[in-house]
Structure 1
Amino acid sequence: MQQPDWTLLARYLEGTTTPEERARVEAWCAADPAHRALLKRLEVIWRTPPARPGAWDAEAAWLQVARQVRAAGTGRPPRRSRRRKLPYGVRVALVLVLLLIPLGVLLWRMTSPAPSRVAEVVTWDSWRTTTGEQKILRLADGTRIWMAPESQVEVQQPYMQHRTLRVRGEVYVEVAEASGVRLLAGPVTIRDIGTRFLVRADHPEALVQVVVEEGLVAMQAAARADSLVVAAGMLGRYDAQQSRLRVLRLSDQDLRAYFSWMQGTLVFQTASLEEVQRQLLRWFGVHFVFPPTHRQAHLTASFQLRQPIAEIAEAIGLALHLRPLARGDSIIFQPTQPE
């Protein structure tokens, strides 16, 4: 927690954090003296009671009356004020002014429009992964996010009723109970209903996919008024070129293929070679180039993420009857026999 999580700090100050959240705040303070100083200032503000302007001091008034009573009992007249009395007419005018000022303020408040609220400053905490890198994020409400390589997650701060996230690449989201998440993937808005789901948005302007493992999510495209609900075991897909939302039922094998990278395996289930190229570039940083004759080909294969790229290229070549040639950061596949 490099940037202040204001919601977490507020719960810390009021004493409602879990032991884990309290440890996070204390670790954040220990990481930087400026963090500890900020928390000290917040504690002072939090514990300082608000002042009551114009409060009536009853005790001081009673002491004044008591002094006058004691003076009357001893026969001594109370001390006279040395201030010169104002003329009667001036005193009446001052009383009227003092009475009319509060009345005027009240009328002004009743007739003037309500002041506009100052908008809160919205910031975005951002995380990225590079080629071959994975990250796991845990938000303050318990929501967890697994990030595949070459992905980005932005979390809006502050949040009230629900979390707002922006994603690019591929992420798996496990939403905490009693927490709401609104996820923005290019032109698509995704709202969860207590779920675990995966989002692919490699090309947000063209294609967004949502695969639900548990629960429900709702998808809505910015260019469309309608929305659709994606249940467990289904794929929600938005194609910007056709401006179309679709829901497909996945087989168990297809469903496992989407989530396989979280167990260290890359699974292709009748995948197009375009999808194979995109995934291998993301995970290994190597461009796989296939001949035009195989544009319509599909691949079914499984690879370990720690497997040498040369072995993966050989296996793909055998499956497609092609010969791989390594050239720099590319592997070019050629037909095994001249055409």
Structure 2
Amino acid sequence: MRDEAVSWFVRLRECDDESVWLEHQDWLEADSTHAAAYSAVERIWIESEDLPLVDAEEHASAEVIDLGARRAERSARYRYWLPAAVAAAMVGAVTLQSGLLRFGPSGETYRTDAVGTRTVTLADGSRIVLNRNTEVTVHIGQDKRSAELASGEVAFDIRHEAKRPFVVAAGGREIRVLGTEFDVLNQSGMFGVAVRRGLVAVSGAKGAETTRLPAGAALLRPAGAKADTVSRGDVDDAFAWMQGRLVYTDRPLDAVARDLARYDGGVVSVDPALRDIRVTGVIRIGDPATLDHQLEQLLPIRIEERNGQRAIVPARR
């Protein structure tokens, strides 16, 4: 049973075929021991996110791979060491599960300010990471689990439970989850979902059709836009804030301004003359002065105070 659970977990890590996910759900529901075994595997993986990773191919030299800097390589490597790691850790899975249940009461509201992020382990063993200036309320009930993202950004790493689906409400929409890792943004009219592992279903705006997003897919609706944009590729950029970075690839300057506002807690406007600027680059998250300086080095702009608010204006010639 353990080997089957590990096999399913490995198979689903990069799977974008919904039929495979449905087949997996049938397997989970066929026997309660299937769900228990899979939950143990997934819980071990979630908890291992914060541990250094030893590459099994180079185990003799005990080379340690940094999870933060080498996350992109991990997905290509995990196939080699995951079954052995799970087999070794399975003995302690029951103890680990009972310990995690002490965290994250049902119906709890979590908030962050402009100073830092926050990591929360929920009562079901799932984990959420709140970006700055974020508010989310989580309900863990007997027959369902849900989260309401009032504003801000949250990275979810959700443990799959066939009988207790997880639903995220944000921006007037719903994200229904099969055990997965994904990021949700609901900020100043902008709505976005990026999936790094698993499969989610995003309800359409104003009655539009539901969009299913497999691993590697992202959905974005900028403020004021009339339609979603769905893209596929490397979604790690959407999670870069967890490592203290903001990564932009051909993004409008308005989107950058909204990020500045979130990290400052105020309002940041963009001069109409700069509306067409597209931004590609990486900046390090810091205090407002640090962010401003980096952007002024990257772009032909300056950031100044106007009527008690910050404004992005053209650089002086």
Q: TM-score, normalised to structure 1's length?
A: 0.56
Deviations 1:135-190 (CA, angstroms, capped at 9, x unpaired): 11111111111111111111225331x31211132111111133631111132111
Partner of 2:255: 275
Q: Per-residue deviation at 1:225?
A: 5.8
Contact 2:200 2:213 in 1 (8 A): yes
- Cα deviation, 1:59-104, whole Å, max 9, x if unaligned, reads xxxxxxxxxxxxxxxxxxxxxxxxxxxxxxxxxxxxxxxxxxxxxx
Say if 2:200 is the partner of 1:221: no
What SS class does the counterpart of residue 195 from structure 1 fall into? strand
What runs of 5+ residues in structure 1 fail to find an aligned partner? Answer: 1-16, 29-122
Q: How many Å apart are 1:324 and its aligned residue? A: 4.0
Shift of 1:329: 6.2
RMSD: 3.1
CA distance in 2, matches of 1:241, 1:140: 37
- On the 8 A contact 1:286/1:331 being kept in 2, the answer is no
Q: Secondary structure, in 3 states, of the residue corresponding to 1:133?
A: coil
- Contact 1:198–1:210 at 8 Å: present in 2 too? yes
Q: Residues 201 and 322 (structure 1 numbering): CA distance in 2 closer, same or farther, change over 3 Å? A: closer
- Say if 1:313 and 1:331, in contact at 8 Å, map to a contact too: no
Tell whether 2:149 aligns with 1:170.
no
The SS at the match of 2:203 is: strand
Q: 1:299-338 alignment to 2 at 5 Å?
A: 299-306=279-286, 309-325=288-304, 330=310, 332-337=312-317
Task: Judge conservation of contact 2:184–2:194 (CA < 8 Å) in 1.
Answer: yes
Kept in 2, the 8 Å contact 1:288–1:333? The answer is no
Match of 1:192 in 2: 177
Who is 1:7 aligned against?
none
Match of 1:194, SS? Answer: strand
* Larger Rg over CA atoms: 1
Shift of 1:309: 3.9
1:212 aligns with 2:195: yes
Q: List runs of 5+ in structure 2 lacking aligned partners.
A: 1-92
Counterpart-to-counterpart distance in 2, 1:257 and 1:128:
23
CA distance in 2, matches of 1:243, 1:311: 34
| Other structure's SS at 1:198 match | strand
Instruction: Report how far residue 241 of structure 1 moved.
Output: 5.8
Cα shift at 1:319: 3.0
Q: Assess if the C-alpha contact under 8 Å between 1:131 and 1:150 holds in 2.
A: yes
- Distance of 1:326 and 1:186 partners within structure 2: 30
SS of structure 2 residue aligned to 1:193: strand
Percent identity over paired residues: 26
Give the alignment's TM-score, normalised by structure 2. Answer: 0.60
Structure 1 pair 314–140 and aligned structure 2 pair: CA distance change class (3 A): closer
Counterparts in 2 of 1:153 and 1:186: CA distance versus 1, 3 Å: same
Distance in 1 (alpha carbons) for counterparts of 2:167 and 2:116: 25
Q: Superposition pairs for residues 79-94 of structure 1, below 5 Å?
A: none
Tell me the CA shift for residue 285 of structure 1. Answer: 3.7
**Could you tell me which residue of structure 2 aligns to residue 44 of structure 1?**
none
Q: Distance in 1 between matches of 2:199 and 2:111?
A: 27
The answer for the alignment partner of 2:48 in structure 1 is none
Q: 1:182 to 1:277 in 2, by over 3 A?
A: same
- What is the deviation of 1:313? 2.3
Q: Does 1:150 align with 2:133?
A: yes
Deviation of 1:287 after TM superposition, in Å, equals 4.8
Trace 1:1-339 onto structure 2 (pairs within 5 A).
18-20=94-96, 124-156=107-139, 158-160=141-143, 162-168=144-150, 169-178=152-161, 180-203=165-188, 206-221=189-204, 223-224=206-207, 226-238=209-221, 244-250=227-233, 252=234, 255-285=235-265, 287-306=267-286, 309-325=288-304, 330=310, 332-337=312-317
User: Which residue identity lines up with residue 278 of structure 1 in the other structure?
Assistant: R
Question: How far, CA to CA, are the matches of 2:199 and 2:205 in structure 1?
Answer: 20
Output one character per residue of 1:283-311: Cα deviation in whole Å (capped at 9) or x when no partner: 234654443211111222222224x5434
1:219-253 per-residue CA deviation (whole Å, 9 max, x = no partner) reads 11363163121111111235796664542224x3x
> For the Cα contact (< 8 Å) 1:190–1:219, is it kept in 2?
yes
> For 1:321 and 1:246, how far apart are their aligned partners in 2?
28
Task: Report the count of equivalent residues.
Answer: 220
What CA deviation, in whole Å up to 9, does each residue of 1:96-124 have, x standing for no partner?
xxxxxxxxxxxxxxxxxxxxxxxxxxx83
SS in 1 for 2:113: coil
